[in-house]
Amino acid sequence: MVSLRLYAKDAKLLAERLAEQISNSDYEEARLTAMKLHDELLKHLMTRGINTNELSELFHRLDFYLRTHSDGANKRKLLLSILAQIDRKTKNPTGDPVETIVDIYDALMDVVPFSKENIGTLKALIRELHELRSDFMKLRDVRYNYYIQMMQEAEKMQTTLARLSGGLDTKQALNDLAKNYSDLLMAMQKVMTPPLRLEISPEKVSHLVEKGVPIQEISKATGHSEDELRAMLTQARIEATQGAENA
C-alpha cells in the first residue's frame, strides 16, 4: 500500500497489515496498527521538513471511523478509501512531482547490483513513475516533455524486466537492464534539473515555425511552455497583419 521508495520495510508491512485488518473487520487491532503506521510516517516526513498536518488529519478521520459506525461493506469501503488517500499523500507529500522524481531516483540508486531478487522493487518504482503523468501534465511546461522522454526509457526497462521475470535470455537481459538503468537515470536528471529559459521574441518564434521547426522542439530548446510559445506566435501574426494593413 505505502510507497516502497519512501518508507522503511516496517512501514510498508504495517500498511499492508492495516488494509488486511480493515478487510477482515478487525477494527480494534486496526486502530493499533494505524497508530504505529502514523508514527512511522511522521518520523520520516518530519525529518525531511515536510508539513504533516494533512496526513495527521487523514489518520484522525481513519481512527474516528474505526471507532464508530456499524460494521458492514460501506464502513470497510470508507476506511479503505481513507487509507488510499493516505497512500497518495505519502507518495507525493509536497504535491511537487519533481520532488517525487528525486525520491524515486535516490531509490533506484540503492537497487544495484541487479538480481532477480530486486526485480519487484524496480517494477514498483517504474509504476510510481507512471502514476506521476497527470501531475506533470498540470505543469504545462518543458518538464512534461522531459517526463515523456523519461517514460520512454522507463518502458524499455519494463520490457527488459518482463524478460527477466520470464527467465528468458537472463544473461543478455541483465546486460540490457544495465543500459536501461543508465539511460533512465540520465533521463530523470533532465526532469530534476530546473529547465533553462532562454529569451526568445515572438518574431523569432514565428520565424522558426515558418521554417518548419515544431513548437515542441522550440519548447525543449528554450524552456518556454508550448502554450507560451503559441501565444507568442499568435502575437507575432497579429502584429504582422496590423503592420501590413498600416503599410
Helix or strand (DSSP H, E) at 220: helix 215-222
Residues 109-126: pLDDT tens digits? 878 777 777 888 888 889
Give CA–CA dist 238/217, Å, rounded: 23
Out of 72-76, 166-170, 191-195, the most confident range is 72-76
With cut-offs at 50, 70 and 90, classify the pLDDT of residue 1.
Answer: very low
pLDDT at 130 over 60: yes
Sorted by where each begins, the domain ranges of the chain are 9-91, 97-192, 202-246
Q: What sign results for the dihedral spanned by CA atoms 238, 241, 245, 247?
A: positive
Virtual CA dihedral for 84, 89, 91, 92, nearest 10 degrees?
140
pLDDT of residue 48: 65
In sequence order, the 6+-apart residues with CB closer than 8 A to the CB of 190 are 146, 149, 150
In sequence order, the 6+-apart residues with CB closer than 8 A to the CB of 198 are 221, 222, 223, 224
With cut-offs at 50, 70 and 90, classify the pLDDT of residue 247.
Answer: low
pLDDT at 134 over 80: yes
Out of 90-94, 110-114, 149-153, the most confident range is 149-153
pLDDT at 174 over 70: yes
Nearest alpha carbon to residue 18 among 76, 72, 69, 95: 76
Q: What's the chain's average pLDDT? A: 84
